[in-house]
Chain A
Amino acid sequence: MSAISIQSVSKRFPNGFEALKGIDTEIQSGSFTVVLGPSGAGKSTLLRLLNGLETPTAGAVHIGGEIVDAHRLRHIRAQVAMVFQQFNLVDRLSVVTNVLTGRLAHRSWVGSVFYLFRTEDMAVAQEALARVGLTDKAWSRADKLSGGQQQRVGIARALAQRPKVILADEPVASLDPVSSEEIMGLLREICDRDGITVVVNLHQVELARRFADRIIGMNSGRVVFDGPPAELSAQALRTIYQREGMEHDNSLDLALAYA
């Protein structure tokens, strides 16, 4: 069975905005998928459905065969980790503690509310930190790190969960090009070595081309492209990025020529 199964999913927000209009797709275990599209296409919403941060108004999402619903969130989230555009670390806490929050689903809450962890948890955290190359910053406060470093802490936190799936919602949008390379490389390496399914939201076409096994292009809440990077032609790009009323505008082609 596939790692992620999205069946006829639609999402309509209380203010009437329809973010997703009938998405049907399967994501294979161990694959590296990039969801590409302009702002407002529904990429974020789609990703957030996968770990229960949003609930669909129609259809269902299954992770590893189990349905994602309100009752099983802790169980689902123990296997599905998320990396955020704004890193979403707890500023005051140390890097280590931030990474350790990835173990919270695996601990009963009695010890963890006192900030007590088992040695196995500490070992997992150390391993995750070593994997992202931040061992020497372990005891620094999270907000004292640079953007790229903070995102690596975010990835370490995700790794500490020992997840089956890692979701990354625009992980490099707030980073400079060099850090972006680092982060995308790290995610790709994690996917290849550990066999973790990775789904990344991006709006940078070049990064998508270079790192993805499969690209899902979205526009206005629908999937408008689904295939390997090789098939991502100029025509396909135009379909993904076009806005209403811009069909005959050549500024889009100009922008995409440099993407």
Chain B
Amino acid sequence: MAGAARAVAGVAVADGPGRLGIGIGWRHELDLSIARLPGVDWVEVVAENLHAGHLPETLVALQDRGIPVLPHAVSLSLGGAEPLDTARVEHLAEITRELGAPMASDHVCFVRAGGLDSGHLMPLPRTREALDVLVDNVKLTQSIVEAPFALENIAAVLEWGGAEFSESEFLRELTERTGCLLIIDVANLYANARNLGTDPERFLDEIPWERLAYAHMAGGVERDGVYHDTHAHPVVPEVLDLLRELRRRTDPPGVLLERDDDYPPDSELAAELASLREAVSP
């Protein structure tokens, strides 16, 4: 569909961020590496780790080189059924403005409920009820964050009963009702295929690719029969294969490598970035 501007009654469809290329998740521990790594077209930064008015110098230096910096939130709990914590959304909005970013994002998940904080992205029931809550929270978020907003699929090790949608149907409904963009995390898709038995190719067949902002890639490890999306290991070949499958269906505007622990030498990161670039080359 040319232009990707699917008309949805009463819903403004967000513009994508445009051509991003190959990027890496900016972390303080990696800031010097990122500055000298070849082939970093853009970076994504965890919004909660930034303070408005005090952007890290190394991040500002990247911006000065013309490298886009996109904020990514982890704590909005947009699938949470308790009232949305709009102070967190305001912070994301402020960071997004300060970065001059073309979009902002969080995840299809909840992280707080009943006074407890999971500290990790928790899956939602794929029910009409849960979708209604998510849609309401996303619409409120969109009204506060002025930039286009995207939602990312998560990795889960457990599922709620009573699902009324497949994951791809759930994401499609979400985009249609809110006009939001999608970040498709290929490693999370692989994790769910391994751990929950979902069909990754069917997922890829059903995603509304015209809503894709970019793709996430990350490493993980299998322990005791469970694949853990650790972001502390190299990207496994199966996840790279899935990225190639994605590429058969769409030319992703961006692909981002996430590494959050056990940081390897620059040469290994550069090789991983090069392998992502190769996987999405025409």
Whether chains A and B associate is no
Question: Could you tell me which B residues sit within 8 Å of A by CB distance?
Answer: none
Q: Which residues of chain A have a CB within 8 Å of any CB of chain B?
A: none
